[in-house]
Amino acid sequence: MQEKPIDKEEILKELDEIHKLDNDYADGRILGSMCTEAHPFAKEVYCKFLDTNLGDPGLFKGTKFIEDEVIKSIGNLLSLDNAYGNIVTGGTEANIMAIRAARNHARKYKGIADGEIIIPESAHFSFKKAADMLNLNIVEAKLDENYKIDVDALKEVISDKTVAIVAIAGTTELGLIDPIEEISQIAHENNIYFHVDAAFGGFSIPFLKEIGYDLPVFDFSLPGVCSITVDPHKMGLAPIPAGGIIFRKEEYLNVMAVDSPYLTVKTQSTVVGTRIGASSAATYAIMKYFGREGYCKIAENLMNNTKFLKEGLEEIGYDVVCEPELNIVAFNHPELDADVLSQKLEKLNWKVSVAKCPVAIRIVLMNHIKKSHLKELLEDLKEIY
Ligand code: 0PR
């Protein structure tokens, strides 16, 4: 740090210069991100609550009330009347909390000491972090030919060490929804904790269903589902960081509680101590601002763009990996390697990402990608072809 204070203007000038190195969502060039520009109203509210700390909720009773209300409304969206949980930093922290709850529950009620979690091969890497931190082994459930959990293969890997089964509603690479209803039944019958990672799909599947899309049930209406991750900072248009973890029962929070004797509440279940309240406030505001009607429109628009891209790609001869269920399109050139194609697109200043299972270019159609950007992209892909 330099010795003397520097003028605000000078600091801002320097920061603006550095900020130019960042990509801007508004350019429509970021094609592989699940994040997007937050809604301006959500950002405005976020700034108002910047100093609130949910780590000591007795000091911020208003913001704690807001967090509880957000959890209730997300729970409501997921067919749960009395939801418990927290607004956290994102899908990773939400998944860590779910796995921690499952592990502690199995330790307390079943005496499982060295547990395992069953996750699909398509699971987000956050589960690897969770297993590592929580000292659990990972058992991978194979996928079927449609890139979804193979239920028979899943049944085979269940053991007396299984502390949790995980399924995905909106996989990271392809946006697919696992056969959650069948898995819920298996988990229920075997008395095993079942977590659904809907970090990506949580803010769109309920709305798409509402407007008539034929998508499978993935929520708490299934008796086996114990917890669901849903991220407001993805399709919810809340500012980063905003993840959500929703539990069916309060006991899942209780089994994680540690004493916090000198705080305004005497126990704490979250991973994080000092904890941002602004994310809860911004999520509260944006959910009220859009309502179900607004989110239905957003989800429909994203799916229209998805269809437009998928059909456009097929028209010019690219192979689309699977019929999109949510707003992700994965595709390949019939001859070029995905990595080679990705480099060609990078040269044309498109920021794409390459899926690994199967290897393919993967485009996540977030709110910042407009039809005009897709037309431009298709023109470039036609040229490359
Ligand atoms: N679960 C699923 C199904 C996810 O897709 C993700 C993130 C997570 C959990 C973890 O969420 P957080 O990143 O909020 O902790 N999926 C994207 C990914 O890792 C996130 C992402 C966002 C990637 C923006 C790139 C990017 O530019 O691929």
Q: Which domains does the chain have, with CATH numbers?
A: 8-38+292-384 (3.90.1150.10), 41-287 (3.40.640.10)
User: How far, in Å, CA of 289 to CA of 38, rounded?
Assistant: 13
Question: Quick one: angle between helices 61-77 and 278-315, nearest 10?
Answer: 30
Nearest CA to ligand 1 atom 16: 172
Q: Which of 210, 238, 227, 241 is nearest to 303 (CA)?
A: 210
Please count the CA atoms within 13 angstroms of the CA of 231 that sit on its side-chain side: 26
Q: What pLDDT is attached to residue 321?
A: 97
> In this structure, what are the phi and psi dihedrals at residue 243, rounded to the nearest 5 degrees?
-115, 165
Measured in angstroms, how far is the CA atom of residue 344 from the centroid of ligand 1? Answer: 25
* Helix (H/G/I), strand (E/B), else coil: 362: strand
**At which residue do the structure tokens 């705080």 appear?**
263
Work out which ligand 1 atom sits closest to the CA atom of 168.
3
pLDDT score for 189: 98
Chain position carrying tokens 């209730």: 72
Number of neighbours of residue 145 by Cβ within 10 angstroms? 7
Tokens 């929070």, residue? 253
Q: How many other C-beta atoms can be found within 10 angstroms of the C-beta atom of residue 213?
A: 15
Tens digit of each residue's pLDDT, the chain (385 residues): 999 999 999 999 999 999 999 999 999 999 999 999 999 999 999 999 999 999 999 999 999 999 999 999 999 999 999 999 999 999 999 999 999 999 999 999 999 999 999 999 999 999 999 999 999 999 999 999 999 999 999 999 999 999 999 999 999 999 999 999 999 999 999 999 999 999 999 999 999 999 999 999 999 999 999 999 999 999 999 999 999 999 999 999 999 999 999 999 999 999 999 999 999 999 999 999 999 999 999 999 999 999 999 999 999 999 999 999 999 999 999 999 999 999 999 999 999 999 999 999 999 999 999 999 999 999 999 999 8
Residue 209: per-residue pLDDT: 98
Please check whether residue 221 is in contact with residue 209, taking contact to mean a CB–CB distance below 8 angstroms. Answer: no
Around ligand 1, the residues with Cβ closer than 6 Å are 33-35, 90-92, 95, 124, 126, 168, 172, 197, 199-200, 231, 243
**353 token code pair:** 């990402």
Q: In what order do the strands lie in the sheet with 116-120?
A: 84-88, 243-247, 225-230, 193-198, 162-168, 116-120, 137-141
Which residue among 124, 200, 228, 365 has the greatest number of ligand 1 atoms within 8 angstroms of its CB, and so is best to mutate? 124
Distance of CA 350 to the CA centre of its chain: 23
Which residue is closest in CA terms to ligand 1's atom 9?
A: 91
Cα(34) to centroid of ligand 1, in Å?
6
SS3 50: coil
Give me the pLDDT at residue 358, please.
96
Residue type, 65: F
Q: Which residues pair with 268 in a beta bridge?
A: 258
